């Protein structure tokens, strides 16, 4: 059964009771045309099962059993792709990448030969949702983890997926994998992530899909108030929490890397460009140039998705040529602040050949 998709924006962290991710209709049949024309609310993840070491939720960690479906355009899915790479889980958890241009039937596997995912054999991600719950009326979101033997969705809970990869999948981590969610720092990490999520990750969508001036003004103010606070925090420390990369940095990075290409203009978050804040720009470049971050980013997919799918915001579908991307590779000098990117661990190895971002998506 095909049905209108929810965008990548569905997530568990917003308590809004109404259906609907930030970027789509959910079951009302209007699909992509609803972008920017309906009040913003972020839906909770409907499928919040967890894959754990002891299998207490019915889904045990098992190498090769599950497939991660992600969009390189999506900040929420990109978190999981980065975590998977930093932890060295490429061989344990396979990766399927969807077309950045989804239609009202959901995310599509049109990038693969024959238009089908080579492992799951499906044309639309909605097919995995239907195998889990026939007639499910909600949206189809990424990231999604699918059980390969049954072909059914396990979870689309993007917040918990990354935390579980860092903690429950430890037996399958590569030698030298970093601790992305160190127990001693979890309270501080959670506090930082909550503010980043509310005002930045989610805030840019509240601004971009606002349907009234007051709604937009409120969201815009919150975005830049939080960015100012983050800039102050990062002026004296290389990473958000502690002296190593943590889950908090991953969650902020996926919004920052999209800021100038899409959020500044497309979402009207234009008080300044990321490249105009010396601290945030250097911090973002530091992470981009760290193995596991920039080598997962596809700027072509990002721009194609936002400008061509959000037809309520950009009805012409014109994709801007800029901004220039060369700045992402310029020196950042953040290493002078100290810090140990991977703690006592090591950087991840080369990107698997099948997962290398094409030249069109890189600086």
Whether the ω angle into residue 13 lies within 30 degrees of 0, i.e. cis, is no
Calpha distance 340→239 (Å, rounded): 9
Q: Are 9 and 21 in contact (CB under 8 A)?
A: yes
Whether 74 is a known active-site residue: answer yes
Q: What is the distance of C-alpha 61 from the center of its chain?
A: 22
Catalytic residue among 74, 197, 239, 263: 74
Instruction: Answer yes or no: is 169 a known binding residue.
Output: no
Catalytic-role residue among 129, 181, 197, 205: 205
Contacts of 196 (CB under 8 A, 6+ apart): 226, 230, 248, 251, 252, 255
Across the chain, where does the E strand assignment appear?
66-70, 94-97, 144-147, 152-155
DSSP secondary structure, 301-340, as one string: HHHHHHHHH-TTT-TT-PPP-----GGGGS---GGGG---
The set of catalytic residues is: 74, 205
Binding residues: 107
Binding residues for glutathione: 107
């Amino acid at each position: 059964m095909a049905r209108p998709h929810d965008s990548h924006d569905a997530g568990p962290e917003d308590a809004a009771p109404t259906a609907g991710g930030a970027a789509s209709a959910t079951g009302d049949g209007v699909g992509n045309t609803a972008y920017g024309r309906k009040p913003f609310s972020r839906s909770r993840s409907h499928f919040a099962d967890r894959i754990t070491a002891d299998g207490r939720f019915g889904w045990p960690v098992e190498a090769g059993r599950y497939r991660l479906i992600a969009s390189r355009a999506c900040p929420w899915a990109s978190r999981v792709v980065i975590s998977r790479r930093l932890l060295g889980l490429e061989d344990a958890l396979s990766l399927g990448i969807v077309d950045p241009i989804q239609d009202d039937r959901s995310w599509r596997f049109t990038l693969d030969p024959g238009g089908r995912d080579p492992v799951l054999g499906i044309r639309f991600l909605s097919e995995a949702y239907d195998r889990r719950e026939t007639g499910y009326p909600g949206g189809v979101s990424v990231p999604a983890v699918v059980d390969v033997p049954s072909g059914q969705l396990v979870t689309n809970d993007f917040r918990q997926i990354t935390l579980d990869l860092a903690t429950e999948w430890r037996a399958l981590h590569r030698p030298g994998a970093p601790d992305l969610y160190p127990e001693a720092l979890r309270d501080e990490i959670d506090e930082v992530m909550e503010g980043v999520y509310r005002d930045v990750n989610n805030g840019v969508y509240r601004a971009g899909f606002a349907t009234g001036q007051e709604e937009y003004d409120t969201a815009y103010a919150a975005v830049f108030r939080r960015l100012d606070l983050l800039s102050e925090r990062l002026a004296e420390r290389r990473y958000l929490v502690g002296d190593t990369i943590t889950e908090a940095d991953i969650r902020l990075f996926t919004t920052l890397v999209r800021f100038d290409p899409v959020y500044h203009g497309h979402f009207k978050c234009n008080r300044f460009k990321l490249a105009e804040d010396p601290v945030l720009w250097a911090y973002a470049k530091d992470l981009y140039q760290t193995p596991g971050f920039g080598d997962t980013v596809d700027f072509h997919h990002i721009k194609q998705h936002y400008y061509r799918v959000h037809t309520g915001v950009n009805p012409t579908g014109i994709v801007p040529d800029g901004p220039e991307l060369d700045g992402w590779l310029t020196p950042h000098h953040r290493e002078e602040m100290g810090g140990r990117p991977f703690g006592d661990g090591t950087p991840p190895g080369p990107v698997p050949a099948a997962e290398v971002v094409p030249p069109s998506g890189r600086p």
